[in-house]
């Protein structure tokens, strides 16, 4: 999996806790979403951005930022006062990021969460101007045709001669700095220590979306405009912190709904229903119940447009099914759910408190699933080489879980580049149903971790038995998916490689035991060991007294 180094584009969102104009401004909701989360979302949806860092001195801002999928850098007090410059916070975050990740940042972005209607395209625009356009720095601007005055003993025109009032069409175009997003070549930024140096590029934006929140009236206007300017987005993020505090600087964290996925977080366990429901809604709801009862975090389905996903020469081929002999295209329709069924599935999952998402096999199915605002989308191994599908999934801005079965290292690398590594959870898989233990090759999990240091690595298993999935967790998989069924003897190609309800309960239980047993990797003497130490250790060792005292 070798190749040229992918340029690193780091977006930094300075978001200190104090604000004289609007107390708690950076976590103030607009359109139901905190300002800092809106900024993180725009950056995470931008195709060129590799990672997003929020620099803050406030625990509340940090919790919201992590829930939105950003890495948090603690901002020193010296850089968090009223007189502190944003450049100082960005330089500090840049140093911490490179020091803790080992990555070399090529382009660094300064993104202000006080601009609530910033879009991913605008973030991409300034990034592209520097990363690919030859500029040293870039900023978002809006076309401006106002006449600016400066007051004094006598008022004076700033951008015009008061004695001459030209028509708008006769004026030289002028632009207003929006204050939303800036991009800088990292090396030059470190030297200049200012956001403007060298060749500066302007990225024009929609003037109707320009608003910078500096006082309560600005915040009121933003809230009134949000229903008009916001594109449809998933339900607002929870303001609660994650279940478990993540590592201070984890690049491998992604968000599935409001659940962080990556090292330091509980393993995200998904029950893959797929088409094991055989087109029966009652069976699908029973499988959701089985997954919820077992403690799974989500269930997953498959969604196809039969005429798109079925080769034309197979449409009229007849086959035996539980519903009699029928053509293959009729069979594909028979096992496919429509909107009514998915509405029922969505309602039942909400009732049971379990998330659901699906693997779309075509672009039309992506649009269908977007109606339900799923926490993520999944790419089946068979679809890994479908660039059109991958681009459609990337455009949703949601986390994409990518299975890597039946794929070469080069194909995997290309798919990650098309999707954008900042949105991906990568799953090792062997696409045989069921897969033999000798072909599971679980050490590939470690290979993927080394090759993709900023991507969470998971495991999608198609084997029989549970031991190998537990081994995948022990090897570091932070996302686990297994096919589930009510009865492995049921009709269907995936049933034999699926886990029945009793096995699913044991699997989830044992995953939780394994992840607890893995610990944090810090060697220590536990309190429970002190009594055996006193009783069994014949020759005291250096540090024993300190351990006992602690």
Which 3-state string (H, E, C) describes 112-168? CCCCCCCCHHHHHHHHHHHHCCCCCEEEEEEEECCCCEECCCCCEECCCCCCCCCCH
User: Which residue reads 């801005």 in tokens?
Assistant: 397
Model pLDDT for residues 428-476, shown as the tens digit of each residue: 999 998 999 999 999 999 999 999 988 999 999 999 999 999 999 999 9
Rounded CA-CA distance 462/380 in Å is 13
Contact 288, 299 (CB under 8 A): yes
Question: What is the SS3 assignment for 455?
Answer: coil
Rounded CA-CA distance 339/368 in Å is 8
**Number of residues in the chain:** 550
Provide the pLDDT for residue 548.
52
120, 145, 229 from 209: Cα distances, Å: 13, 16, 7
The whole-number average pLDDT for the span 518-531 is 87
Pull the structure tokens for residue 102. Answer: 């080992």
Contact 116, 228 (CB under 8 A): no
The torsion angle over the Cα atoms of residues 56, 81, 195 and 35, rounded to 10 degrees, is 40
Pull the structure tokens for residue 454. Answer: 């900023």
Query: Which residue, among 417, 393, 525, has the nearest Cα to 1 in the 3D structure?
Result: 417
Task: Give the DSSP letter of residue 469.
Answer: H
Contact 360, 372 (CB under 8 A): no
**Which helix H or strand E contains 368, and what residues bound it?**
helix 363-370
Question: What is the Rg, in whole angstroms, of the alpha carbon atoms belonging to the chain?
Answer: 27
Looking at every residue in the chain, the average pLDDT score rounds to 88
Contact 379, 390 (CB under 8 A): yes
Provide the pLDDT for residue 288.
96
Identify the sign of the CA torsion 103, 105, 106, 112.
Answer: positive
Contact 186, 12 (CB under 8 A): no
Task: Give the DSSP letter of residue 229.
Answer: H
What residues contact residue 23 under an 8 Å CB cut-off, 6+ apart? none
Provide the pLDDT for residue 503.
94
Provide the pLDDT for residue 514.
95
* pLDDT greater than 70 at residue 539: yes
Report how far apart the first and last C-alpha atoms of the chain are (Å, whole number): 47
63, 117, 319, 376, 428 from 440: Cα distances, Å: 38, 46, 31, 25, 9
Bond into 434 cis (ω within 30): yes
Residue 543 zone, left/alpha/beta (φ > 0; ψ -120 to 50; rest): left
Rounded CA-CA distance 57/72 in Å is 10
208, 401, 452, 482 from 261: Cα distances, Å: 36, 11, 15, 17
Query: Which residue, among 281, 439, 438, has the nearest Cα to 345 in the 3D structure?
Result: 281
Provide the pLDDT for residue 246.
37
* pLDDT greater than 60 at residue 236: no
33, 238, 480 from 231: Cα distances, Å: 13, 19, 32
52, 112, 294, 433 from 28: Cα distances, Å: 20, 14, 37, 49
How deeply is 514 buried, as exposed, middle or buried, from its count of CB atoms within 10 A (0-12, 13-18, 19+)? middle
Pairing of strands 254-256, 259-261: antiparallel
Residue 67 zone, left/alpha/beta (φ > 0; ψ -120 to 50; rest): alpha
* pLDDT greater than 70 at residue 248: no
Greater pLDDT, 116 or 247 = 116
Query: Which residue, among 121, 36, 107, has the nearest Cα to 71 in the 3D structure?
Result: 36
Q: For residue 115, how far is the Cα from the chain centroid? A: 21
532, 537, 544 from 528: Cα distances, Å: 8, 14, 14
* pLDDT greater than 80 at residue 19: no
The full DSSP string for 154-221 is S-EESSS-TT----GGGSPPEEEEEEEEEEEEHHHHHHH-SS--SSEEEEE--GGG-----SHHHHHH
Question: What is the SS3 assignment for 111?
Answer: strand
How deeply is 197 buried, as exposed, middle or buried, from its count of CB atoms within 10 A (0-12, 13-18, 19+)? middle
Confidence of residue 233 (pLDDT cuts 50, 70, 90): very low
Contact 133, 198 (CB under 8 A): no
Confidence of residue 546 (pLDDT cuts 50, 70, 90): low
Provide the pLDDT for residue 416.
93
Pairing of strands 259-261, 318-321: unpaired
Model pLDDT for residues 475-506, shown as the tens digit of each residue: 999 999 999 999 878 877 777 778 999 999 99
Task: Give the DSSP letter of residue 33.
Answer: E
Query: Which residue, among 439, 27, 371, 70, has the nearest Cα to 249 in the 3D structure?
Result: 70
Which residue stretches of 295-362 are H helix? 306-309, 328-334, 339-352
Confidence of residue 291 (pLDDT cuts 50, 70, 90): very high
How deeply is 232 buried, as exposed, middle or buried, from its count of CB atoms within 10 A (0-12, 13-18, 19+)? exposed
Q: Residues 39, 44, 48, CA angle at the centre, nearest 5°?
A: 115
Confidence of residue 410 (pLDDT cuts 50, 70, 90): very high
* pLDDT greater than 90 at residue 355: yes
């Amino acid at each position: 999996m070798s190749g040229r180094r992918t340029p690193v584009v780091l977006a930094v969102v300075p978001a200190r806790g104090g604000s004289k104009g609007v107390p708690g401004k950076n976590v103030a909701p607009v359109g139901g979403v905190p300002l800092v989360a809106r900024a993180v979302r725009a950056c995470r949806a931008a195709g060129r951005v590799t990672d997003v860092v929020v620099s803050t001195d406030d625990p509340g801002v940090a919790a919201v930022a992590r829930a939105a999928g950003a890495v948090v850098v603690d901002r020193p007090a010296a850089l968090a006062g009223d007189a502190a410059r944003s450049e100082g916070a960005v330089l500090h975050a840049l140093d911490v990021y490179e020091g803790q990740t080992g990555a070399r940042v090529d382009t660094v972005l300064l993104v202000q969460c006080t601009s609530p209607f910033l879009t991913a395209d605008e973030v991409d625009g300034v990034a592209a101007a520097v990363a690919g356009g030859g500029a040293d720095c870039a900023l978002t601007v809006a076309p401006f045709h106002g006449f600016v005055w400066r007051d004094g003993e006598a008022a004076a025109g700033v951008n015009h001669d008061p004695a001459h009032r030209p028509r708008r069409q006769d004026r030289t175009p002028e632009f207003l700095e929006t204050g939303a997003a800036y991009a800088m070549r990292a090396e030059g930024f470190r030297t200049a220590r200012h956001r403007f140096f060298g060749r500066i590029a302007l990225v024009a934006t929609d003037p109707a979306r320009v608003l910078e929140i500096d006082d309560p009236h600005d915040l009121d206007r933003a809230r009134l405009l949000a229903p008009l300017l916001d594109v449809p987005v998933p339900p607002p993020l929870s303001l609660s912190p994650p279940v478990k505090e993540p590592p201070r600087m984890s690049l491998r964290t992604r968000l599935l709904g409001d659940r962080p996925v990556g090292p330091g977080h509980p393993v995200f366990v998904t029950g893959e229903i797929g088409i094991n429901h055989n087109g029966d809604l009652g069976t699908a709801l029973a499988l959701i119940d089985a997954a919820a009862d077992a403690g799974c975090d989500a269930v997953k389905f498959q969604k196809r447009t039969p005429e798109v996903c079925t080769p034309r020469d197979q449409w009229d081929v007849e086959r035996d099914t539980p519903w009699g002999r029928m053509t293959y295209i009729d069979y594909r329709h028979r096992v496919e759910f429509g909107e009514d069924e998915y509405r029922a599935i969505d309602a039942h999952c909400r009732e049971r408190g379990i998330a659901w998402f699906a693997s779309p096999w075509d672009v039309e199915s992506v649009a269908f699933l977007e109606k339900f605002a799923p926490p993520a989308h999944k790419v089946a191994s068979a679809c890994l080489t479908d660039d059109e599908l991958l681009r459609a999934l990337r455009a949703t801005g949601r986390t994409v879980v990518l299975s890597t079965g039946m794929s070469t290292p080069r194909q995997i690398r290309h798919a990650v580049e098309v999707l954008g590594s900042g949105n991906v959870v990568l799953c090792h898989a062997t696409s045989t149903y069921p897969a033999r233990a000798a072909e599971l090759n679980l050490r590939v999990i470690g290979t993927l971790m080394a090759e993709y240091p900023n991507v969470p690595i998971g495991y999608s298993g198609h084997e029989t038995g549970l031991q190998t999935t537990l081994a995948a967790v022990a090897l570091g998989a932070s996302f686990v998916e297994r096919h589930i069924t009510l009865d492995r003897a049921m009709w269907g190609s995936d049933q034999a490689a699926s886990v029945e309800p009793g096995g699913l309960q044991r699997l989830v239980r044992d995953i939780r035991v394994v992840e607890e047993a893995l610990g944090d990797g810090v060697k220590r003497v536990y309190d429970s060991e002190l009594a055996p130490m006193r009783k069994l250790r014949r020759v005291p060792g250096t540090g024993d007294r300190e351990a006992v005292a602690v």
